[in-house]
Structure 1
């Protein structure tokens, strides 16, 4: 084998160098693998810390979301009072949606968690401001409601007092009504007594005549006693009867107490046969004129005018039905009725 300058063989000297090179390469590979594992460890630790931070952020976000849900649930009971604030709430929700959109976009772009937290805090502060305004509005409404309740209580007290006064007034009115009715009943009884006395005296003076009768509370004279057929002028025989009637009325006027406000009503009636003359176009005019002439005659004989009333009924209130001569005769009449004004 050839030898080198040192006298060693050239062919057998390269192996130790090769072994050294391999050993060095192995050390380098071990060192690089250690560096890789160390780098992998730090990378995993960094990823783990980021996951933990992300979980904390998600928990905080969930907590903030729950707080927002609680705020919204409290605001639902105030929806009627906070109608005026709905626009602000809607605007806040729109801003929140915009913030969420921006946050999602920021997350996509890799924005930091701190910026997301700041945005959420701002949103929470805005919601809290809205809630504070709502609570202030509710407090004002509660104050107004309390004032209104006080006014209602005062009005209720006043109404109860007024109702008590009204009940007292009703009781007084009822008492006065009973007393008035009793007084009226006494006056009616007294007037009925004087009416009976008047009719009795009139019957005594006039005697029992077929052409004079009492019907209910009326003294009925047949028209022939005072008037000729188709005439409203009182005949001499009728004047004599009316003079007797005036004397009785004048005597009775002095006996009836002043508190009994009475009148003698003179009613004129005709039968159903029509009359058409220049003086009396119908039975209305004839019956009314006869009653008026009787009243005027009694006034001339001293009967006070305020105690007399004249009325004409024509043929519309007959005493007898039918067209017989007897029925027509009974319906032609003058009625006297003593009554209250």
Structure 2
């Protein structure tokens, strides 16, 4: 598979493979970003796998998208990826692929490209997931589970489905993880699956020829002996790659230390202070439930938990049902529940604090360097929805708590799921006490 060109400034180019046309008025940032894909499409025209050859430009874009921190126009990129997918279908159809093979290959490519974009700061804010490639072509919001179901079915017929298996294998090699991203020991399981798939493909395809060219020694002998052995662009690319590797390593190290720091802060204990006994105060009356009654249907369905106390009410939302794994975008089907929560909060005056929590499994990505960053963005996402529905943003405040204050030990998948949550606390004014002696008058 051809390597993707560097994203350097380029001049507008003429149409190339896939009928991709550039115009002089194309914004420079957009032209730089997509120019390499069009050039790569012209490279993969030969080889034993027509699906991989047809998808070469899209495959080259997967790692480029995943590690791009900023993009000038994500909507433009999504539209061009959609056009490239349609051109992939035409190339694959011309190469003799069946409609079933094209549909399965398109599903895998859409899923891998969507995941790569969703893990970036510019693609994980919600707009991409709401208008993803998988939604556009297959009317599905997440393919991280179905991708591997499809792969398992294809591996039952490796000889008949070899081209598709190789295409999905390239998606895995280029970083697609799907459901394994959130599973316990998921990386090791995914490595085992990749090795198994590689052995299956090699068993059908056979070993490659030992020599790629029959006359490779003659070509080397005719080269200019005074020519520098390594191109300058390769040295520059290697330097950039090494610098990027150092940056990523330092970023991950800093994120790991920050998680430990947040955990230590959470374990700090405030020194106890012994106070002199005060005179008995009048017992505050226990207020009736503020929110539990209104949210009784949601409580019965297990969507929320509600704790009403004297001075506050706490609504607990399970994070696994509220967000997709590794995302801070509220799932659409949970919007009605948040609307009911906002309606309940609107009935009672008081400040609202939205706190996000995670489990203790470290999260390190370009978008979320640490668990605390993930918890902050999840709390902000819920707070924004509540503030919009309450009509008073000054009432709502968002906080990230990371892995602090777990409600259960992080020693099992079930307990970690309980700790992944968002708590909405209503700080209500306490009830007024009756004046001393009130009611004793004759």
| TM over 0.5, shorter chain | no
Higher Rg = 1
Q: Which has the higher contact order (CA 8 A, sep 6+)?
A: 1
Q: Which has the higher helix share?
A: 1
